[in-house]
Structure 1
Amino acid sequence: MSLLITDDKRVRTITLNRPDALNAFDEALYDATAEALRAAAEDPDVAVLLLTGSGRAFSAGTDLREMHARTTDPDFRPGKHGFPGLLDALVEFPKPLICAVNGIGLGIGATVLGFADLAFMSTTAKLKCPFTGLGVAPEAASSYLMPQLVGRQNAAWLLMSSEWIDAAQAKEMGLVWRVCEPDELMGEARRHAEVLAAKPISSLIAVKRTMTEPLRAEIDAARERENACFRDLMGGPANIEALTAFAEGRQPDFTALPAGW
């Protein structure tokens, strides 16, 4: 199964479970996660959602093989919800969302932290927003949420450099709330989740709504801007070079692209 779901003490734990693919999101995993978020939102017995990954990754982001197929295969068919549906579910999720970053987080495996109410990270984990390395634009309203979360200059580095950020850097930036040793990560995240889950669900929802409602219009606007840029860049020379280099097992060379790319 691509997702593992467990309930305990009003905390629902969703574990991304494609360890052989570093929990990268293919269309099926996007669909399953979106549906799991919506189910948790509607379940009156769930107070808090805890999201983590299996194996050595939190999530390696969008499955690049499917991204390549999207641009090259005329028969490619997107899922029912896909990436946009997952973002809709994250934006609308009304209850506390806690992320436990157990390993590498790439792309949506990093930008999802913009939607987390609390984020815990293993000392051995690392994060990357690889958009410029893929020749594309930011995603998941990260162009708005990351400056809000970590400040403009930290966000500029995160979104422009395509460089790895280790746990200490993530904590210093304010990208995550707590850094834990690997064998303590889930226990610490669960302990805090259970503290919240013991509170009235109606009150938790009210607190989150009053905190996030002022951001909704800006998130929607950021997604529209990002999607427009993504459409312009997807399948362009830089993106094709990046995906071809990935398929060929080499580093991309953007220096030989046409002027402006």
Structure 2
Amino acid sequence: MSDFQYETILSELRETAVRVITLNRPDSLNAMNRQLIDDVARAFDDANADPATRAIVFTGKGRAFCAGDDRKVHVHPESEEEARELVVAIQRATRAIVFGGKPVVGAINGWAVGGGFEWAINCDFPIWGESAKAFFPEVSLNLFVTGAVTSLLPALVGLNKAREMLLLGERYGAADLKEMGLAWKIVPDAELLGAALEVANKLSALPPLSVRAMKRVLNEAAVSDLERALRLETEATVAGFLDPRTTELLKQF
């Protein structure tokens, strides 16, 4: 189970039992189309089910980790059923990252925007390149966040800072993110993947049973209710997708 193929993802198992999952739409700054969303969920599900994989590095190819929703291919859902199916797919990717048994080291390069920022926050050990930047544009686009960040973000940065980030959509550099606790480490851009692999190698050498248990218990104990957050986010995001104003704002963004 060591070799997996995806349309928009590269998945490589290293000799140290570390699997590197790389978003592979560099010409679009790894922006999220439906294929990428589905591939992320599948790649993490496959990695978590693979006995040869002991730890995961999550990164993006090219100049960005993930630039959020792909505005060029955005299609306004025509029904609540279609909108809900899309949002459930987005949340499925977060479930695979957060609830999967393998520890995830993020190697966050370039821009992490919207859903890409959410995936960075979903990582257990988020390491950011020193030039990386991030923000949440969702509210300004008549949308809502996903990725359980309505629960994770207040737990990490506090409620007031979470309000600032989610409602005002301010842009933050890696140093800002380190200060507020969203970046675990910052390293020079050229050293990013090496630093992530070093941490992942240490994790892969630990007993997998205790690592899996620690990840699960920490997430369940530290954050109030991730499943409830995912459900509430889904309803709010579906409502945003169904408003025609959303498509107008996305095209202007």
Equivalence for 2:4: none
- TM-score w.r.t. length of structure 1: 0.86
Equivalence for 1:227: 234
Q: Give the percent of matched residue pairs that are identical in Structure 1 and Structure 2.
A: 33
Can you list the C-alpha shifts for 1:134-186, whole angstroms capped at 9, x where unaligned?
11122111111101111112211211112211011000010011111110111
Corresponding residue pairs, total: 244
- C-alpha deviation, 1:238, in angstroms: 4.4
- Whether 1:98 and 2:105 are equivalent positions in the alignment is yes
Question: For residues 244 and 189 of structure 1, do their structure 2 counterparts lie closer, same or farther at Cα, with a shift above 3 Å needed?
Answer: closer
Query: How far, CA to CA, are the matches of 2:186 and 2:224 in structure 1?
Result: 31
Query: How far, CA to CA, are the matches of 2:64 and 2:131 in structure 1?
Result: 10
Coordinate RMSD, CA, aligned: 2.3
The answer to whether the Cα contact below 8 Å between 2:32 and 2:70 also exists between their aligned partners in 1 is yes
- TM-score w.r.t. length of structure 2: 0.88
The answer to whether the Cα contact below 8 Å between 1:114 and 1:149 also exists between their aligned partners in 2 is no
Question: For residues 38 and 237 of structure 1, do their structure 2 counterparts lie closer, same or farther at Cα, with a shift above 3 Å needed?
Answer: closer
Can you list the C-alpha shifts for 1:227-258, whole angstroms capped at 9, x where unaligned?
22222222426424312324xxxxxxxxxxxx
Q: Which range moved further: 19-28 or 216-225?
A: 216-225
The answer to whether the Cα contact below 8 Å between 2:76 and 2:242 also exists between their aligned partners in 1 is no
Unmatched runs of 5 consecutive residues or more in structure 1: 247-261
SS in 2 for 1:70: coil
Aligned residue identity for 2:216: R
- Whether 1:3 and 2:2 are equivalent positions in the alignment is no
Query: How far, CA to CA, are the matches of 1:215 and 1:42 in structure 2?
Result: 25
Equivalence for 2:219: 212
Aligned residue identity for 1:136: L
- Whether 1:108 and 2:115 are equivalent positions in the alignment is yes
The answer to which structure, 1 or 2, has the higher relative contact order (CA under 8 A, 6+ apart) is 2
SS in 2 for 1:33: helix
Please list, as runs of the form range in 1=range in 2, the aligned pairs for 1:41-80 lying within 5 A after superposition: 41-67=48-74, 69-71=75-77
The answer to whether the Cα contact below 8 Å between 1:96 and 1:205 also exists between their aligned partners in 2 is yes
The answer to whether the Cα contact below 8 Å between 2:146 and 2:234 also exists between their aligned partners in 1 is yes
Query: How far, CA to CA, are the matches of 1:244 and 1:4 in structure 2?
Result: 29
Larger Rg: 1
Aligned residue identity for 1:13: V
Equivalence for 2:158: 151
Can you list the C-alpha shifts for 1:88-109, whole angstroms capped at 9, x where unaligned?
3123211111111011001121
- C-alpha deviation, 1:14, in angstroms: 0.4
